Structure 1
Amino acid sequence: MTTSKTTSTSTSRQPWWVRLSERCYTASTAQLVRDVQHEAGSTYDELLTDLKSPLEPGFERQVARRLQSDKPIGFKPARTLMPVMMQRFSLQDAELTNDPDYGAMRATCNGCPVVGRCWKAMRGGADVEECRGFCPNAEAFDSRAAQ
């Protein structure tokens, strides 16, 4: 007669079907994001511009990666991300609209090489120090904030 031992690791492990489901979701999340972008474009656009609604971390990470590699034509970082970024630097959009370099700052933002990182940082409430580390407009924002 054999007795089975239950170890603490086997009792703390999730059932196989839960682990399988999680792995399938993780493996298919990138495709899911692509599908949402192509099949439900308006929903995807809303998702990109809504910086406050919570997203599952893996899904959010894939959206940021997708945004970084394939920025949608209708998505304008200067419209969605720049006002939030400016707030990190204690600036308001209305304060800079008459600045002669405002158009250049918007163009820099719209052509940002790290737009996915910025999107995720703005969603996550990144502080000004973190933003200085990646934002191509950081120096311009700092100089305006110092005035």
Structure 2
Amino acid sequence: MTHPQSQAPESRPSWWERVSERCYRASTPALARGMQNESPGAFHELVNDVTLPLDATFEQEVAKQLAQGTYVGFRPAQSLMPVMVQRFGLVLENLGEKQASLETTCNACPVVGHCWKSLRHTTDVETFRDFCPNAESFDRMGAQVKE
């Protein structure tokens, strides 16, 4: 005969798994900062490749650090804007004289962490219109291309 107390529910993680997860979550900010400092090339690749699969906790921490501006080598116009332009159906090389002002706006964006995370998870332009300061410009340029 088995007693209900002796069988742990399958959906509940063990105490060791909970402790391990808590330790991982607590160390994730230091892990991200350490990777920036100790392996800047790998961190640069990680941040600039929005298709690279990442652990959700680590991804959230990277987005947070990007939003805080702690990654000094990060230039949104170099890594995020090309992807955003493509999502709006445009070609970066065809932005012409407007490219410089779009890049300035992108580099000064107050929601860089959110943008980075959104580009990683969706291709829905409507989502980007909700927060991207260049969205209206991209829409106007897209309308001109269609004409």
- Fold match (TM-score > 0.5): yes
Q: Which residue of 2 aligns with 1:5?
A: 3
* Matching residue within 115, 120, 140 for 2:137: 140
Instruction: Note if contact 2:63-2:116 (Cα within 8 Å) is conserved in structure 1.
Output: yes
Runs (4 or more) in structure 1 with deviation over 6 Å come to none
Cα displacement (A) at 1:9: 7.7
**Per-residue Cα deviation, 1:110-134 (whole angstroms, up to 9, x for no partner):** 1111111111111112410000001
**Partners of 1:115 and 1:93 in 2: CA distance:** 19
* Matching residue within 112, 115, 123 for 1:115: 112
Instruction: Note if contact 2:65-2:71 (Cα within 8 Å) is conserved in structure 1.
Output: no
Letter in 1 for 2:29: A
**Partners of 2:124 and 2:5 in 1: CA distance:** 44
Identical amino acids, percent of aligned pairs: 47
**Partners of 1:103 and 1:73 in 2: CA distance:** 20
* Matching residue within 124, 128, 132 for 1:127: 124
TM-score by length of 1: 0.88
Q: Which residue of 1 aligns with 2:65?
A: 66
Q: Tell me the SS of whatever aligns to 1:117.
A: helix
Superposition pairs for residues 44-83 of structure 1, below 5 Å?
44-83=43-82
TM-score by length of 2: 0.88
Cα displacement (A) at 1:10: 2.6
Count of residues paired in the alignment: 143
Q: Tell me the SS of whatever aligns to 1:72.
A: coil
Cα displacement (A) at 1:71: 4.3
